[in-house]
Amino acid sequence: MPPSDLPAPIALVTGAAKRLGRAIALGLARAGADVAIHYHLSAENAGTLAEEIRALGRRAWLFPADLSGDEAAIHLAGSVHEIAGPIDILINNASLYPEDRLNDLSETALLQNVRVNAWAPFALARAMAAQGRPGNVVNFLDTRMRDYDARHVAYHLSKRMLFSMTRMMALEFAPRVRVNAIAPGLVLPPPGKTESYLSELAPTNPLNTHGDADDVVRAVRFLIESPFITGQVIYVDGGRHMLGGLYD
């Protein structure tokens, strides 16, 4: 984050209303950023988050958008720029996570996942780069992309696409904009699951434990605050990505 005598950076966090997005938005606010909160259906949670950020002495704005819609990401970037100002930090956290297998994968499902999980992050980052000013992009991947997630094929393919796009953007948007990514593993239980879900799976990684949202927030801040790093992926997964295998 910049010295206190400089204007506060504006951070756009997609999917900020819940889970990791919420933790990241609060973490950035505590570090001195003003936050543009993107959400889709979670208006109440987004409003509560905005109140918490303002209570920390930072500004917060609410931006509803369905990123699966045609040109939704482009409109979102324009709205944030118009209302909040130029984007300094972009956290591409919003994603779809439907269950599907290769044998029942549909074109519609694949395109919807690609649009939300890969195209929207790219469109937002490209709009940010077009501002012609320094910036930081952190894309959210998934440690499972290194293996094969047979139960979430459309999601799996779209995250692999975002991985490739992260490296491409890091080259194309340099030197002004740095583009990195984080691939979380066992840090939050899936919706409907409890902490016991994480404890049961802890032995599946070399550190034999699980992380939490704070581990991810620290990784986000590290990337933002490291001016000589771009095109990198940090796996916040206890080393799980080194083991390989099939998720089924």
* Residues 11 and 28 sit within 8 Å (Cβ to Cβ): yes
- Amino acid occupying residue 109: A
Does position 3 have pLDDT exceeding 70, yes or no? no
CA distance 10 to 86: 7
Q: What is the pLDDT of residue 193?
A: 86
Ranking 48-62, 133-147, 190-204, 205-219 by mean pLDDT, the lowest is: 190-204
Query: What is the end-to-end Cα distance of the chain in Å, rounded?
Result: 40
Q: Which residues are catalytic?
A: 155
Q: What is the pLDDT of residue 1?
A: 62
- Amino acid occupying residue 17: A
Among 210, 8, 171, 3, which residue's Cα sits nearest to residue 89?
Answer: 8
Percent share of the chain, pLDDT over 90: 88
Domain-wise residue ranges, the chain: 10-247
Question: Out of 3.90.470.10, 3.40.50.300, 1.20.1090.10, 3.40.50.720, which CATH number does the structure's domain 10-247 have?
Answer: 3.40.50.720
Q: What is the pLDDT of residue 241?
A: 92
Does position 187 have pLDDT exceeding 90, yes or no? yes
Does position 87 have pLDDT exceeding 70, yes or no? yes
Which phi and psi angles does 12 have, rounded to 5°? Answer: -95, 120
